[in-house]
Amino acid sequence: MDATELCFTPATALAAAIRARTLSPVEIVDAVLARIERLNPRLNAYLTVDADGARAAARAAEAAVMRGGALPPLHGLPVPIKDLEPVAGLRCTYGSKFFADSIADIDGIVPERVKAAGGIVIGKTNTSHYGVPRHVRQPDRPAVPEPVAARPDLRRIERGAASAVAAGLGAIAHGSDGAGSIRIPAAFCGVFGLKPSLGRVPLWPTTDIWAARGHNGPIARTVADAALLLGALAGPDARDPLSIDAPPEDYAAAIRDPLPALRGSASRGARISATRPSIPRCAASPPARPSGSRRSVRTSSPSTRAGTIRARRRRSSGRWPSPLASASATPRSPDGSSRSWPA
């Protein structure tokens, strides 16, 4: 197979070929790096590419294959990490000009688990400023081009990982999602993205562990590839008290099982009932404003109006804490007591 075909081969097929010794991790990494070098100046999907480190890891993975023995699920597969997650020895900008030259000295949980599963961290993908959707265009870097025409309120999100997977700059990629940052770019780029349940993939490090709302998850071109990556990332971790305290399912095996019929026998398959007559009527005539709506509360409750005015004054006077203020604060448990967390 040529280099282009290799770059668009599913991760599950690449993993099987590595185990069968018909394909080397070195060949895969070289093909992906060559494609990144050719296309990334136009796509801007990667902020940092670790070519030397990836090639060294690929050679080590090839040697492990030749020695024989059991191989972990992602063995020899290149996996980019979104640049909100630290990878030891690589730049970690958090999508911000403030950290343009910052080098991480630790691995976050995601790259830690990718490496433990045999994956090769090939680089860091583009992201908006601290992952905030409204700040995708940074003054120190070109923006990721629009894959499709999108509504202005939806297109201003990071698309690095989804663009990389769609363009063959990696078969699978790590993403994170708080308000659509996996799902929306995946939809615009024509790939598959999954936002797992909160805590299914642990989140660490973070400035405020109890207020964390990030969901780490996979982006891939096939559901099977996403299941492969999610299986490597999921599972509890003591460093994240919000992580789900139960072993993850075998997602790769689960997608191979046929879905049961939703209604009726398996031979008849699933059925979809006719639309209820009330639905078109409700759509045609909007319901009346309820008695407890915001307008009636504003006009009937002076105390509520006064409370709203006080809240607006607090926001405008700058008394609300800055999102960055917690970066140096000691993490606290729900009861308010301070607690030390492992570095």
Q: What is the pLDDT of residues 282-305, one digit of tens each?
A: 555 555 555 554 443 344 444 444
- Looking at residue 154, its pLDDT comes to 44
107 pLDDT higher than 70: yes
| CA dist 5 → 8, 33, 71, 120, 330 (Å) | 5, 14, 24, 20, 50
341 pLDDT higher than 60: no
Cβ of 318: how many Cβ atoms within 10 Å?
Answer: 8
Q: What is the pLDDT of residues 168-212, one digit of tens each?
A: 999 999 999 988 999 999 998 999 999 999 999 999 998 877 777
For residue 213, what pLDDT band results from cuts at 50, 70 and 90?
confident
108 pLDDT higher than 90: yes
- Residue extents of the structural domains in the chain: 3-254
User: Which CATH class, in words, describes the domain spanning 3-254?
Assistant: alpha beta
| Prediction pTM value | 0.74
For residue 1, what pLDDT band results from cuts at 50, 70 and 90?
confident
For residue 308, what pLDDT band results from cuts at 50, 70 and 90?
very low
- Looking at residue 140, its pLDDT comes to 53
Q: Return all residues near 35 (Cβ < 8 A) that are at least 6 apart.
A: 3, 4, 7, 167, 168, 169
- Looking at residue 133, its pLDDT comes to 66
Q: Return all residues near 337 (Cβ < 8 A) that are at least 6 apart.
A: none
